[in-house]
Structure 1
Amino acid sequence: MRTLVLLLVVTSVLSHCTFWHPSTFDCDRANGNSDNLAQPLQDYTFDQWWWHGNLKCPPADGVVFNLPANGEAVVELSSNKAFTSDYCGGYRGMNFPNTPEPWAGNELSNIHAVNREDVAGCAFAIAYKSDPYQVQPSDFVVFSVVHDCIARQNQSFSIPNLPACPNGKCMCSWFWIHKSIGGTDQMYMTPFVCNVTNAKSDAAAVDVANAQPPRKCYDPSSCTMGPRNPMYWKNERPNMPEEGHRAPTYSTVYGWREGAQKDIFVNTNPYTYASKSTPVERKCIDAKLNTEGYGSRIRSDNTSTFLVDGGAAIVSPNCQYICYVEANSGSIMVVNQTDGNALWYGSAQTRGLSPYTLKVLPDGQVNNYDKSGNIQWSTPMTQGVGVGPYRLDITDGGQLVLSDALGRNRWENYFFDDRENKFLSTSPDPAVWGNGDATIHTVGHSDASIIIAGWAMVLIALSFF
């Protein structure tokens, strides 16, 4: 009988993964062979996935996970409690405390990364509330990210200069979304009680009031940084617009720096909450590739820039890509002018209702209307998010990027060739980002100018085994 039980445990360990500690909310706490917290969250109602459904099962009074400000916190990751230390309730110990070498993909199927490069990243987030029932999804702000996760069971997280928690207790959570290439689309959330230790008395507050939902940014220069919420996906009340099999990840593709997120505070958030001058529109000046002299931008405050099928288009500044609304079908096309291949298109729900018109609205929504004014296509999760006016640009990389008046990326199309998922988790952060350790001083009440000090253009060398 004991042999049978162990076989069942081994089967379980090759399924999913989570963070284990006595501070977690866990309705299966007494079970040493539990995989409750490691179960993926997908296609659930809000009450089912929020807090992993364990809101009514808090840890014992006084049990917290300590986060040393400006230090490191080491956690245990496993798909079954049995494969953790005695302290975390396990009885078999960790089988992969460090990164396996060589990488045995089939043996590590619990992390959905058959190949070493498919590891996609995990994160810690904090909510400065001591009562879990008062925490809302927007209260969480991500404060540490490990791109090379999950790759080992002993995982260290770098902690930024977090301020102290109210009453010595905050709510935290571990988050993970693996690449879609690793299997079924899934989200993981494991809440726990935490406390910030060694907090400095003058530590700036986390700028939760201005935290944003993360957005994909294939071009690293277009990434929206600063305080951001975790990525809630594939369940009721998501904040991520990605379709199935195009999983968002805690990676550079979504603007996540490796390690401590230093730009999440009220004095380091790179945005000033005041409109900035719109960047000058760049245009293709090659008369052969842009015979009509089209621009590269559609604006919510300029109706003359809207696209009508069979009429106007926008062309990338380097002249290589063109976007237009296809006559009769109503599809929004992004095409490579060199070879005629479509990089992406957004299909109208109903064909044959010309003319179709693509508009950027004052509230941030981008809609494609048919002749009767019915919406045939629209950008997901952009309405009312951000500050107008908005602009939709076609970039030199052949992408449509929607930005608000603060310069924040609100939406961009994906590529049919899935190039976004070809990033390597062991690559360094883009040099254009700096390290995010800046102090920002706003000049005057409505002055949009800012003084940024301390940007160090460094590459973070990620170590891997």
Structure 2
Amino acid sequence: MYTSTLLLTLGGNDSSVDNANTNLAVNPLYDLPKSKWWMQADRGCDAVPPPKGEFLELPAGKSFMTELANNRAFTTLSYKGELTTEWQDGKNRSMPWRGPEGGCLMDGGDGSGGELHTKNIESTGGTAWAISSPFFRETWYDVPADMPACPEEGCYCAWLWIPDGCGQPNMYMQNHRCKVTGSTSTKKLGKPKPPVYCRDNPTKCVPGPKQMMAWNQAEGNNVNPPNGKTPTYNQRMGFMDGAQDDIFVDE
């Protein structure tokens, strides 16, 4: 999804052009060497940072809102927001919206499910330090209260998603330059471990900080779910909803 924050490649991979109708940053990653999927280097996103001094601000212990869309055109960053709706693809749907039961998710009853990559709002996932639902365009993320401050030049953050549906089993990674605001904690981030599929046995869930998941790439994979299962950023891989407050260690 297109996250309307200070995204690398916000207007495309040509820094001389501000493309209001780009979906470059939202295309999935599949079967790539790590040098290509990391920071979306395969499409040049690693080479087009946000303007100097601009950051995605993460308020420690609070929440922030971002827009998720499958094209910049459907966010308030393009066309004065005239193409935006409650949904990520600029369409309108009746609620409660649900995709078909069983099998592949293609279209819902209104013929518009393919863009959502999920059957309903309960089956969606989020990120490694804050879990939320990428279902509507406006989505809120809770920032852990103990999130430490970034250096002056900022931190590198990524929005991550692995869709649970049919089609190509790929993953998404979007890059941001970020900084933490209002940080007063002296705690540090712990050393993350690869998460483990634990839906059927919660005792197998990896506690504490967990790595981002690399899946179905040519290089750098760190998760190995059972055959036919998708590693998603939710309880099945040990990620609980909301701020991930167990990722810190005392200094």
TM range (shorter): 0.7 to 0.9
Taking a change above 3 Å as real, the CA distance of residues 104 and 254 of structure 1, as seen in their structure-2 partners, is: closer
Match of residue 442 from structure 1? none
1:255 aligns with 2:238: yes
Which among 131, 149, 153 is matched to residue 164 of structure 1? 149
| 2-structure distance, mates of 1:90, 1:178 | 29
1:242 aligns with 2:225: yes
- 1:18 deviation in Å? 3.2
Question: Residues 353-368 of structure 1 correspond to what in structure 2 (within 5 A)?
Answer: none
> Is the CA contact 1:40–1:188 (under 8 Å) kept in the aligned structure 2?
yes
| 2-structure distance, mates of 1:97, 1:111 | 9
**Secondary structure at 1:253's aligned position in 2?**
helix
> Is the CA contact 2:20–2:72 (under 8 Å) kept in the aligned structure 1?
yes
Instruction: Summarize deviations over 1:128-178 as a string: whole Å, max 9, x none.
Output: xxxxxxxxxxxxxx31112xx221110000000211111151110000001
1:19 aligns with 2:3: yes
Q: How many residues align?
A: 225
Q: TM-score of the superposition, structure 1-length normalised?
A: 0.45
Which among 188, 194, 212 is matched to residue 193 of structure 2? 212
Taking a change above 3 Å as real, the CA distance of residues 100 and 64 of structure 1, as seen in their structure-2 partners, is: farther
| 1-structure distance, mates of 2:21, 2:35 | 25
1:116 aligns with 2:120: yes
| 1-structure distance, mates of 2:152, 2:60 | 17
Match of residue 187 from structure 1? 171
Match of residue 78 from structure 1? 69
Instruction: Summarize deviations over 1:333-384 as a string: whole Å, max 9, x none.
Output: xxxxxxxxxxxxxxxxxxxxxxxxxxxxxxxxxxxxxxxxxxxxxxxxxxxx
| 2-structure distance, mates of 1:203, 1:93 | 44
Match of residue 131 from structure 2? 145
> Is the CA contact 1:232–1:238 (under 8 Å) kept in the aligned structure 2?
yes
Q: TM-score of the superposition, structure 2-length normalised?
A: 0.82
Question: Residues 264-283 of structure 1 correspond to what in structure 2 (within 5 A)?
Answer: 264-267=247-250
1:212 partner letter:
K
1:40 aligns with 2:40: no
- 1:28 deviation in Å? 5.2
Which among 210, 227, 248 is matched to residue 209 of structure 2? 227
> Is the CA contact 1:83–1:90 (under 8 Å) kept in the aligned structure 2?
no
> Is the CA contact 2:121–2:135 (under 8 Å) kept in the aligned structure 1?
no
2:86 partner letter:
F
Which among 17, 25, 37 is matched to residue 49 of structure 1? 37
**Secondary structure at 2:46's aligned position in 1?**
coil
1:94 partner letter:
T
1:177 aligns with 2:162: yes
Q: Which residues of structure 1 form unaligned runs of 5+?
A: 1-16, 124-141, 269-465
Deviation >4 Å, runs of 4+ = 88-91, 97-100
Taking a change above 3 Å as real, the CA distance of residues 96 and 45 of structure 1, as seen in their structure-2 partners, is: same
Q: Which residues of structure 2 form unaligned runs of 5+?
A: 100-106
Match of residue 410 from structure 1? none
| 2-structure distance, mates of 1:68, 1:100 | 33
Taking a change above 3 Å as real, the CA distance of residues 60 and 151 of structure 1, as seen in their structure-2 partners, is: same
- 1:104 deviation in Å? 5.4
| 1-structure distance, mates of 2:234, 2:80 | 30
| 2-structure distance, mates of 1:259, 1:25 | 25
**Secondary structure at 1:237's aligned position in 2?**
coil
Pick 1 or 2: higher relative contact order, CA cutoff 8 A, min separation 6: 2
Larger Rg: 1
Q: Which has the higher strand share?
A: 1
2:123 partner letter:
V
Instruction: Summarize deviations over 1:71-113 as a string: whole Å, max 9, x none.
Output: 0011110000000003x67754422259961315431321212
Question: Residues 54-453 of structure 1 correspond to what in structure 2 (within 5 A)?
Answer: 54-86=45-77, 91-97=81-87, 101-103=95-97, 105=99, 106=107, 107-113=112-118, 115-116=119-120, 119-123=123-127, 142-146=128-132, 149-161=133-145, 162-167=147-152, 169-179=154-164, 181-200=165-184, 202-207=185-190, 210-217=191-198, 218-235=200-217, 236-242=219-225, 245-267=228-250
| 2-structure distance, mates of 1:197, 1:100 | 38
Root-mean-square deviation (CA, aligned residues, Å) is 2.3
